Structure formats: C-alpha cells, structure tokens
Structure 1
C-alpha cells in the first residue's frame, strides 16, 4: 500500500475531522470526508431552521481543511471560513455556510452541491454528508437533577444540548429531523466510499455528537462493519467539557464498543501524554481487536490540538508505511 494513493475515508465532524483531514492530506490525495449532519447551533442551526437544509458548518470545515492543503488553496480556505461581523442578519454566518446553502437550494442534491463546492475550491478530495437529510441526536443523560447517585435518566435532544449537558451522557441514538419511525438513511455515496476504502478513520472529535453518530445510521454502520479497509480510531487529546467530562482515554473506547459491538478496529492512535495508564488503553483497544499506538501527536504550541505532521507520521506507522524514529509510536498488542 503506497502512501501516495491510499484510498482514505475519515468520518467525523467539526474541528476533530479537520485535524484528521489535515494530517491525511500529507499522506494521500485520495481522501473522502464523511461528515455528521446533526448540528443545530450557530450559523448552521439558523440556516437549518430557516431553510430546512442540511446544516452546512461541519461540511464547510471539511472542505476548508482539504482546500488549505492544496498549493494555492489557503486563501480560498480562509474566505470560506470567514464569518461576517456586525449585528445584522448576516452576523455570525460563515461565507462557506451561505455558499453551500445556496448550492443546496439551486441543485437540490447535497452531494452534487458539495462536488461543485469542491471544484470551486480546487479540492482533490471529496466531502460527503453522513445522511442526505438533517439528523437529530437524542441522548440518555444522568445527573441532571444534581445527584448522580439517583441514576435518574432523562432524554435530551439536539447536538448543542448534548454537547453542553451538565449531566453524564450514557447513550445516544440518532433520529431524523422529521421524527419518522423509519431509521435515518445513509448517503449512498458515503456507504460506497467506506466499502471501497483502504483505510477508514473515526475520530478525533466530540465523541457523542460527531464520532458515534456515524455508527448509528444502519447502512453506514453495516458498511463500517463489512469494509475490508484498515480501521483506525484517533482519540482526543483531552476530555471535552460537557459530553465527555471526566472520561479516560479507555472510556472513549468502551463507549464506542457499547454503541457498535460488532465493529472491529485495527489500530487506536493516542497522544502519549494524554494516556495516564497505557495498559488500560491497550486492554480497551484489544477489546475492539486493535493495537494501541502511543505517540507525541499533540501540538505543543496549541494545547488540545493535534499536530498534523506528527499525526501523519503516526498514521503512517500504524499502516506500516514508515520507519520508526526516536520517540515514535509505541505499538502493543
């Protein structure tokens, strides 16, 4: 498997997916991003409510990450990410969100719209929605009464509500925005991309609102289970306030296994400094069928963010494409 033409698919959303894509573009031109479509906050939430369209924010982030990796794409990536100021109707909207909303309306097909945006930005990779329709995250949460000991479970709806909950998220499901009795549909092109990939990535990112939702869309879940691709999970550097506050690295994997017990993974990448007890992480990875790869993948200049070059090196190592250097990844069964 040559690094220059690995068919890679990365699933996630927001800043976490942005980090993976930025690293992957150092390894291959054949990158497909499969993006969550459950955002209901900020500019995306406004456009979703007003126009009934897919929330464009996470899709925009993925396009900008791929555009910035092109030789002449940095300027247009910055324009795509630019947010209007002031206090008027445009305040807070990103240029890319408005452009995507317009393409969605004109073309009537989110995949065709994203392909046109990709051409406009000169992006060689592809960005696809997880589903062709907006989705809603529903979480079972304890501790909302201020007393975790009672074990009382409440259901809360919406990505923003789940991401910012003061309680502890136990489990999530994904519903259609129409609250249909039918399960959410997967984007057919996303399913095909997963089945045709050589390597598939989950994470990093908001665990309950950006990573796990992909496993709860039946057709996409089945594709992730069936694909012959190497499957790699990239863990967050720090727990996120709200939905994963207090989570250990291994707890993230336990939750992944709980939501998708049939999923088998080949490798788990974690930052060496973010893993207090490596043996526990190795055991949790083994429960998924994976090896743990510990490396210095954090960015010293930006705490809480991955260093794209270091992450790319660790991915290369996990795929058996590179040589191990000093303080390189530690791989254990």
Structure 2
C-alpha cells in the first residue's frame, strides 16, 4: 500500500509512526514555512529550506531498533551551551549541509534517507521556502477588526482567532507557490493520503494553498483520510470544536472530498455534529481511542494504526 502523509512537526511525526506499522511504502510531504528556532536561524542565514520539520519526518520513518537507530538519535540531538551551535539539532545542520552541496532538495533528502536507512521517503511541499500570513481577529478593541499576521511562529502563537491563511514564496508576497513535482506525483500515485493531525493553520492547511498540490489531492484515486487533533491548540485553534476543524478545511479547499475522518472518542463532545460536518465532505467518521495514555494531547501510534486499518477497510467496502 502506497501511503502519503501531509503535514509538519509533531502531528506528522505521529501519523508517520502509525503508517510505518501498516506499510513500508510511506511518503511524507512536509511544510516548508517554519521561521522559528533552529530552522528559522538556518533559513535566514543560509537561504535554505527550513530543515526542522523535514528532520522530524526523517526521524519518524527511521528504524528505532535496528542498526540505524544511532543515526536517528544523533539526528535528533540538540547542542547545549550558549555558543553559536546552541539549540541547533544535529540533523538540521546535516540537512543544511546537504542542501548547500546538492542543489536539488529532493535528491538531498533522498541522500539523508539513505544515511538513516529510511523506510519510506520525505519530500518538501515546495522546493523553495515559503512565507505564511493570516487574517486574525480579536486583537483589537473592535473584536471584528482584522489584522494581518505574518510568519509561522507569530501565527501559531497569536492570542487572536485565525480566520484565513495565505501562502507565498519567501520574499515574493505576490507570488503563487509552486509544488514540488515529486510530491504531486506521490499524491497522485498513492493508495491512501492522510491530512492531519498537526497545527491546523500552519502545518495542515498550507498544503491546500499550493495549487498543484490541492489539485492532486482532489484528483487522486487514493482514499483521503483526515486525522483530527486531540485538543485545540492555544492561539491557533483555541476554542475550536472538532467539527470546526473540518469547516475550516472546507473553506480553504471547497472542492476537496474526504473518505474518512478519524477522531479520538474522548475528544469529541458532540459526535452528531462531527458526523454531519464529515458527511458534508463526503466522509464517514471513526471515533476511536487514539490518544496516548501517558500524554492525552498526543496520538498513540499503534492505536492510530489500528484505527487507520479499520477506516481503510470501511472505505474499501463503500
């Protein structure tokens, strides 16, 4: 089974951890708009794709108990201290080096995958770094006044309510981002495509704002599954119900149809509302226990894998 997961950060890490329990043919398509932390520093200093989310996806698909586990640990290790390297992950620096030596980001990531003995592949959403901006309300005395907030970190941490996002190539505010051709091909050739979980406005929805990628998601014959977050994210989706996540998805990609929506049973207070929202996208709903027992805000990879299997079985029956 050819599986493609779209997202970034911790949410994509959870999805990939589940998928590698189902199939070895997994492709991660990763957002490239991060402008904070180690990734932001490397992006500003070197003009490269921000490597952090790409690194996390590589680590998620690397073996945990084989001969490559040491490289996975090293990739994720962050330097301490207070010098120039403080806060940088080793994997970010390795990817930065590869991206400088190898002009093609896809080839550079394939080389990183070989180093880690990857089960699967990691691709950037676009081959150029992106800037993201959002329309936000609730920041002024007039609660309806709209402010434009720029930058992934600023949007993710805004105390206001995000209404809509836009995406453009870094430093080119009037440009329309171009998708990575390999990512488009992976979506078109997939048997199953997953959106979410993750930071909804800055990791999940950006894929829908790249025209070629959105069109591929609409045209693909793959089963399309949305995995909802376990809890609202402070700032970005504070106060969001599970069904509101689907409403926002539809607002950004009205033509997108979905086959199944997976949500944690304990995170959904009004199942009927969620089912109606899912049905408006053409999807069935699965309410399963997919949260980690140790950390309720994180998905349990094995439980999510089991839910995905059941969802796919139900979709195939339909």
Name the TM tier (shorter chain): over 0.9
Matched, 1:67 2:59: no
3-state SS of the aligned residue for 2:32? coil
Q: Which residue number corresponds to residue 258 of structure 2?
A: 265
Alpha-carbon distance, 1:70 to partner: 6.3
Structure 1 residues 99-110: aligned runs within 5 Å: 99-110=94-105
Matched, 1:181 2:174: yes
Cα distance in 1 between the residues matched to 2:68 and 2:280: 41
C-alpha distance after superposition, 1:169-196 (max 9, x if no partner): 0000101102153310100000000000
3-state SS of the aligned residue for 2:93? helix
Matched, 1:221 2:214: yes
3-state SS of the aligned residue for 2:313? coil
Residues paired across the two proteins, number: 317
Cα distance in 1 between the residues matched to 2:63 and 2:80: 23
2:28 to 27, 33, 37: 33
Matched, 1:78 2:73: yes
Normalized against structure 1, the TM-score is what? 0.93
Cα distance in 1 between the residues matched to 2:182 and 2:298: 30
3-state SS of the aligned residue for 1:282? helix
Q: CA contact under 8 A between 1:37 and 1:58: conserved in structure 2? A: yes
Q: Which residue number corresponds to residue 207 of structure 1?
A: 200
Alpha-carbon distance, 1:321 to partner: 7.9
Q: CA contact under 8 A between 2:16 and 2:28: conserved in structure 1? A: yes
Q: CA contact under 8 A between 1:70 and 1:123: conserved in structure 2? A: no
Matched, 1:94 2:95: no
Q: CA contact under 8 A between 2:7 and 2:198: conserved in structure 1? A: yes
Cα distance in 2 between the residues matched to 1:124 and 1:56: 19
3-state SS of the aligned residue for 2:62? helix
Alpha-carbon distance, 1:303 to partner: 2.0
3-state SS of the aligned residue for 1:185? coil
Q: Alpha carbons of 1:70 and 1:258: their partners in 2 closer, same or farther (altered >3 Å)?
A: farther
Q: Which residue number corresponds to residue 326 of structure 1?
A: none
1:48 to 25, 43, 65: 43
3-state SS of the aligned residue for 2:55? helix
Alpha-carbon distance, 1:68 to partner: 3.5
Q: CA contact under 8 A between 1:39 and 1:45: conserved in structure 2? A: yes
Q: CA contact under 8 A between 2:63 and 2:119: conserved in structure 1? A: no
1:138 to 123, 133, 139: 133
Matched, 1:281 2:274: yes
- Structure 2 residue runs of 5 or longer lacking an equivalent are none
3-state SS of the aligned residue for 1:320? helix
Q: CA contact under 8 A between 1:138 and 1:158: conserved in structure 2? A: yes
Q: CA contact under 8 A between 1:70 and 1:122: conserved in structure 2? A: no
Cα distance in 2 between the residues matched to 1:133 and 1:27: 31
Q: Alpha carbons of 1:69 and 1:8: their partners in 2 closer, same or farther (altered >3 Å)?
A: farther
3-state SS of the aligned residue for 2:66? coil
Q: Alpha carbons of 1:193 and 1:70: their partners in 2 closer, same or farther (altered >3 Å)?
A: farther
Matched, 1:23 2:18: yes
Structure 1 residues 212-251: aligned runs within 5 Å: 212-251=205-244
Q: Which residue number corresponds to residue 297 of structure 1?
A: 290
